[in-house]
């Protein structure tokens, strides 16, 4: 374990290091607004890559980040948040059928379909914008929740479906946990921002399914399912590095789920023993993920995916997995007091500083190969700030409270 105070949780040096990263990230990303509204995809130098058009999930993430930036007092953040939100109420919104297009291409053509993953991020963005006092945020949140409740939430199963056609008339048979994970994040954010605890209860229903699947699979979370929620472990075996639906287990998701489960448990159960049982399950997820993926292929870093025996498959290092590792190790340390999590935090912080942060160009490199060289086969450029930005704040906030509400409470 490193003893450099820059990386040690609880030191002034670490807080300064991460606070400076908060500022640098907000500074790097401020060129995101697209001319038609919403956010472009950022290149490695912070300029917009027009080939991506505008995407709902990227735009929502930037609205979320700069809404928090406004609450932190970053100059101009409120207006930047407004520009992102204008994309969600404008070019990305399907005025005919309701909901949000996944993407509007450079030529103005909408990408067909309606995707749960993107709609979950609209909810997250609107809840953060509401806390930041952005104009129209409540109306956007109300519409986003109504759309989600009508089309994506399956009350009978207590899980979210994944993808519709544009008109919301044909539901794809695929079911996936990535969208459900970000649904949990969004639901917890709504519950904290509005006081509507029904969304926290819904998050718990999803979490209990996930824990059942994970515990029955040696704490490696299945990601892909059929229409009746039968596990499909070999899904995308022929396309192992798919951007959103990779084959096998994704240790970074195990780590991210561990934090969300910890947050949900701490906020749901005044009985410490009940909460502790779920935190213990989160510990199992974290332990499995780092045992399988950390330094698992002979070089330092966190492998992107593994097979169902824990052997690395895609050995690239994605920046978001390290951001979530910082968040979760700090949250588990706060929840349990166990030194091992503080040690993990310091280990991850040192790795991020040495390999992931672009100290010359700004922001974080989004994808490295197994030898920690920058590549862009899955994540070209530096698309948005969401994961990196959150990891500069969450480790210092109440682990039972969503990031935007926690920042608002600290104002």
DSSP bridge pairs for 357: 364
The phi, psi pair for 246, rounded to 5°, reads: -70, 155
Give the residue numbers marked as catalytic: 253, 387
* 181 lies in some domain: no
Burial class (CB in 10 A: 0-12, 13-18, 19+), 114: buried
pLDDT (tens digit per residue) in 367-390: 999 999 999 998 999 999 999 999
pLDDT (tens digit per residue) in 196-228: 999 999 999 999 999 999 999 999 999 999 999
State both tokens at 83: 């520009």
* 392 lies in some domain: yes
Q: Which residues, other chains included, contact 29 with Cβ-Cβ below 8 Å and sequence gap of 6+? A: 42, 46, 62, 65, 66, 363, 384, 385
3-state DSSP assignment of residue 306: strand
State both tokens at 203: 């998050």
3-state DSSP assignment of residue 302: strand
Distance CA 100, CA 88 (A): 8
Long-range CB pairs of 272-278 (<8 Å, 24+ gap) are 278/207, 278/211
Residue whose entry in the numeric block shows the structure tokens 């006081």: 195
Do residues 314 and 355 both lie within one domain?
yes
3-state DSSP assignment of residue 69: helix
Task: State the first-to-last Cα distance of the chain, in angstroms, to the nearest integer.
Answer: 34
Percent over 90 (pLDDT), the chain: 97
pLDDT of residue 62: 99
Q: pLDDT-derived band of residue 242, with 50, 70 and 90 as boundaries?
A: confident
Which residue from 255, 312, 261 is spatially nearest to 288, judged by alpha carbons? 255
Distance CA 220, CA 120 (A): 24
**How confident is the prediction for the chain on average, in pLDDT?**
97
Do residues 11 and 61 both lie within one domain?
no
State both tokens at 325: 């590792």
pTM: 0.98
CA triple 323-376-35, angle to 5 deg = 85
* DSSP per-residue letters across 364-410: B-SEE-TT--B--SSS-S---SHHHHHHTTGGGS-TTS-HHHHHHHT
pLDDT of residue 162: 98
* 325 lies in some domain: yes
Average pLDDT over residues 257-264: 98
Long-range CB pairs of 359-363 (<8 Å, 24+ gap) are 361/44, 361/45, 362/24, 362/25, 362/27, 362/28, 362/45, 362/46, 363/24, 363/25, 363/28, 363/29, 363/42, 363/46, 363/388
pLDDT of residue 244: 82
* 135 lies in some domain: yes
Do residues 119 and 221 both lie within one domain?
no
Do residues 222 and 325 both lie within one domain?
yes
Looking at the structure of the chain, the number of domains it has is 2
Which residue from 293, 297, 357 is spatially nearest to 325, judged by alpha carbons? 293
Q: Within its chain, how far is the Cα of 409 from the centroid?
A: 21
pLDDT (tens digit per residue) in 120-133: 999 999 999 999 99
pLDDT of residue 1: 75
Do residues 255 and 353 both lie within one domain?
yes
Average pLDDT over residues 91-105: 98
Q: Which of 110-119, 239-248, 269-278, 348-357 has the lowest mean pLDDT?
A: 239-248
Task: Quote the domain boundaries for residue 317.
Answer: 1-30+186-411
Do residues 305 and 337 both lie within one domain?
yes
The domain that holds 403 is classified in CATH as 1.50.10.10
State both tokens at 14: 């670490």
Distance CA 232, CA 70 (A): 43
Do residues 316 and 391 both lie within one domain?
yes
Do residues 155 and 10 both lie within one domain?
no
pLDDT of residue 18: 98
Do residues 107 and 25 both lie within one domain?
no
Q: Are 377 and 365 in contact (CB under 8 A)?
A: no
Q: pLDDT-derived band of residue 243, with 50, 70 and 90 as boundaries?
A: confident
DSSP bridge pairs for 249: 306
Domain end, chosen from 172, 200, 216, is at: 172
* DSSP per-residue letters across 52-67: G-EEHHHHHHHHHHHH
Do residues 339 and 363 both lie within one domain?
yes
């Amino acid at each position: 374990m490193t003893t450099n105070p820059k990386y040690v949780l609880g030191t002034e040096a670490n807080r300064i290091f991460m606070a400076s990263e908060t500022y640098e990230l907000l500074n790097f990303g401020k060129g995101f607004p697209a001319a038609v509204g919403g956010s472009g995809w950022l290149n490695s130098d912070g300029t917009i890559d027009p080939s991506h058009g505008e995407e709902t999930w990227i735009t929502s993430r930037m609205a979320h980040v700069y809404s928090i930036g406004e609450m932190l007092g970053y100059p101009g953040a409120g207006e930047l948040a407004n520009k992102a939100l204008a994309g969600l109420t404008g070019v990305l919104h399907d005025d005919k059928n309701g909901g949000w297009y996944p993407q509007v291409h450079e030529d103005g053509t909408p990408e067909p379909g309606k995707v749960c993953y993107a709609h979950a991020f609209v909810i997250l963005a609107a809840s953060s914008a509401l806390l930041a006092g952005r104009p129209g945020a409540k109306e956007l949140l109300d519409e986003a929740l109504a759309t989600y409740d009508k089309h994506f939430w399956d009350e009978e199963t207590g899980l979210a479906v994944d993808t519709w056609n544009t008109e919301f008339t044909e539901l794809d048979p695929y079911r996936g946990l990535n969208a459900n994970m970000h649904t949990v994040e969004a639901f917890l954010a709504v519950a904290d921002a509005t006081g509507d605890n029904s969304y926290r209860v819904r998050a718990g229903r999803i979490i209990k399914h996930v824990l059942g699947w994970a515990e029955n699979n040696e704490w490696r979370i299945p990601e892909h399912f059929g229409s009746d929620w039968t596990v499909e472990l070999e899904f995308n075996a022929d396309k192992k590095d798919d951007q959103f639906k990779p084959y096998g287990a994704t240790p970074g998701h195990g780590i991210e789920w561990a934090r969300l489960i910890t947050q949900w448990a701490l906020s749901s159960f005044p009985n410490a023993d009940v909460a502790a049982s779920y935190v213990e399950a989160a510990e199992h997820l974290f332990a499995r993920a780092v045992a399988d993926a950390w330094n698992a292929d002979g070089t330092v870093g966190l492998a992107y995916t593994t097979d169902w025996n824990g052997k690395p498959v895609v050995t690239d290092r994605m920046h978001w997995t390290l951001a979530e590792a910082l968040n979760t190790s700090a949250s588990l340390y706060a929840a349990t007091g166990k030194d091992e999590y503080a040690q993990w935090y310091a280990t991850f912080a040192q790795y991020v500083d040495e390999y992931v942060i672009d100290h010359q160009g700004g922001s974080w490199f989004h994808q490295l190969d197994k030898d920690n060289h920058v590549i862009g086969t899955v994540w070209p450029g530096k698309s948005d700030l969401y994961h990196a930005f959150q990891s500069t704040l969450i480790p210092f906030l109440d682990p039972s409270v969503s990031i935007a509400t926690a920042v608002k409470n600290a104002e």
